[in-house]
Structure 1
Amino acid sequence: MNSASLVNSGEPIARFQQTLKASASVSGRGYWSGKEVTVRFEPAAEDTGVVFVREDVEGAPQIPAQVDYRVEVPRRTNLVYQGATVEMVEHVLAALAGLQVDNCYVHVNSAEMPGMDGSAKDYVEQILTVGIETQTAPRAVLAISEVVRVGDDECWVEARPSGSKRMKFKYRLDFGNEGMIGRETLEGKISPEYFQNELAPARTFLLLQEAEWLRQQGLGTHVDFSELLVFGPEGPIDNELRFEDECVRHKVLDLVGDLALAGCDIQGTIIANRSGHRLNAELVKQLLKENQVAYLSRRTA
């Protein structure tokens, strides 16, 4: 990540880095593997970033949460570094990024993160229980100075300049006129309060035919339909919506987690149309190539 003076975007607004006040943990089963896993969040020094630690592997290898270490797999975000892997990390990353926890060691005893109820709610609750500590170093900022877009005409995500101190977003979800999901749009501004209340409880969703296909492949056979949102012809099966537009809210949750792989705050507006993990990561790569990351010595509230 390179430091650079920003051009044509004004000076970005810095905040102080943050970590946890104490250790917090969450346990559950992985959706894909079915294995029990405990995630333990530990405080970390300034400029550490988010680092996963595989306690179950000899030498406890560390895996930095950076976009360069992302590997392409369907429906989730996995990281591989020097042969060590962590899987389905997007909800963990979203919880940390959404609450502005910048420096954290994430200790795990299995490769896949627990699916919980398909949301980031449990992670957020445990982090807030132990509290967040402000550190003295400024947080790195990536201020969008020109439009950057990845994808095609049907599925795309782009970043635009914005005068806001926080990241703004607009996400369009489109499942067509048929079925129970249809079209949903959500826009807003990311803050810890907004993330906690409006995004963290939104759960993973899929269509019944997708769930049946996955089970035929031997995947997720242990997952009950009450553990996530599975949409049949009449709506969610064995479940109820937490928000009328819960599906698009979860897509924004995933977006927050994927953008966290930039390793810095993003100041600008992110607009997405049917985007997923792959395109979200491609946007991060393109933004970092623009050499727009700056470390500032001041903070403005």
Structure 2
Amino acid sequence: MNSASIAQQGEPIARLQQTLKAAATVSGRGYWSGKEVTVRFLPAPEDTGVVFVREDMDGSPQIPALVDYRIEVPRRTNLVHQGATVEMVEHVLAALAGLQVDNCFVHVNSAEMPGLDGSAKDYVEQILAAGIEQQATPRPVLTISEVVRVGDDECWVEARPSGSKRLKFKYRLDFGTEGLIGRETLEAKLNPEYFTAELAPARTFLLLQEAEWLRSQGLGTHVDFSELLVFGPEGPIDNELRFEDECVRHKVLDLVGDLALAGCDIQGTVIANRSGHRLNAELVKQLLKENQVAYMSRRTA
């Protein structure tokens, strides 16, 4: 984003940018590809943002974690820039955004991020172990000043103004009155403590018929049901819930990762109803078009 082309509005109070004190490393297999991958989180200078580095490719091409580089792929968030791709990045982005790590080089040796247990817990634990340090420059802020909504009557996500200096969210998950998932709603303010305890451990979930269809297409054949939440007629197969409402918590985890593609903090309220990666990203695009980002060099909260 070019600060010269974006209007300042209302001078919201900014916090200072942050990066890592040291490197953090997480390894595992991709859900879709089955390939082993190592992710290395490295400190980065102010105003770098989150940048993926494909160190397995000639020239180690970089892919900025911005919505302009998102490509539409079912069930996950992928980015592409100058011929280099990174896949299923939403949990990595959620971990960094949830902990307010703004500047970070994410080195990977394969396209797809490791699936791990379907949550962001391992990423968060390793980032916290490495440590987070404050930098000198204020963080850009997207202040929601008017209602912006994308989607249709059944699936939508909406941004609204609020008096909060933090992002507030409300997510409604609706699988109907029949079935074990049913309807779940989660509402809270986002901060690193809440994210670490209440969102990061929430795992990817899907229905048994979805899992069987994916396997029939040759996808995820190496993933055991104990590695993520697969709901059968009697509940999770070979697994137990970490939270009674773990499904809606994971949808919020994904939402946090997708909103991170704005490349700045968001002040306001985001309300989602059965939204997914595509609509989340479309909301980010619409908010950026509305010139609601302020780049400040003023006092911090």
State the TM-score bracket (shorter-chain normalisation): over 0.9
| Superposed counterparts of 1:75-224, under 5 Å | 75-224=75-224
Do the aligned partners of 1:95 and 1:257 also contact (CA within 8 Å) in 2?
yes
Identical residues among aligned pairs (%):
88
- Per the TM alignment, residue 227 of structure 1 is displaced from its structure 2 partner at its CA by 0.3
Distance 2:266 2:162 in 1: 10
The answer for the alignment partner of 2:27 in structure 1 is: 27
Q: Which amino acid aligns with 1:51?
A: V
The answer for the alignment partner of 1:3 in structure 2 is: 6
CA deviations 1:64-84 (Å, max 9, x no partner) are: 000000000000000000110
Q: Which amino acid aligns with 2:254?
A: D
- Per the TM alignment, residue 300 of structure 1 is displaced from its structure 2 partner at its CA by 3.7
Distance 1:158 1:60 in 2: 37
Q: Which amino acid aligns with 1:164?
A: S
Distance 2:203 2:24 in 1: 22
Q: Which runs of 4+ in 1 moved over 6 A?
A: none
- Per the TM alignment, residue 5 of structure 1 is displaced from its structure 2 partner at its CA by 2.2
Q: Which amino acid aligns with 1:36?
A: E
Question: SS where residue 166 of structure 2 aligns?
Answer: coil
Distance 1:43 1:123 in 2: 15
Do the aligned partners of 2:30 and 2:113 also contact (CA within 8 Å) in 1?
yes
Do the aligned partners of 1:16 and 1:299 also contact (CA within 8 Å) in 2?
no
- With the length of structure 2 as denominator, give the TM-score of the two structures: 0.98
Do the aligned partners of 2:142 and 2:294 also contact (CA within 8 Å) in 1?
yes
The answer for the alignment partner of 2:271 in structure 1 is: 271
Distance 1:278 1:109 in 2: 26
Distance 2:7 2:114 in 1: 38
- With the length of structure 1 as denominator, give the TM-score of the two structures: 0.98
Do the aligned partners of 2:76 and 2:90 also contact (CA within 8 Å) in 1?
yes
Matched, 1:226 2:221: no
Q: Which amino acid aligns with 1:264?
A: C
Distance 2:97 2:162 in 1: 20
Distance 2:299 2:224 in 1: 47
Question: SS where residue 291 of structure 2 aligns?
Answer: coil
Alignment gaps of 5+ in structure 1: none
Distance 1:27 1:128 in 2: 16
Do the aligned partners of 1:259 and 1:284 also contact (CA within 8 Å) in 2?
yes
Question: SS where residue 107 of structure 2 aligns?
Answer: strand
Question: SS where residue 203 of structure 1 aligns?
Answer: coil
Distance 1:78 1:5 in 2: 30
Q: Which amino acid aligns with 1:3?
A: I
Do the aligned partners of 1:200 and 1:253 also contact (CA within 8 Å) in 2?
yes
CA deviations 1:106-161 (Å, max 9, x no partner) are: 00000000000000000000000010010000000000000000000000000000
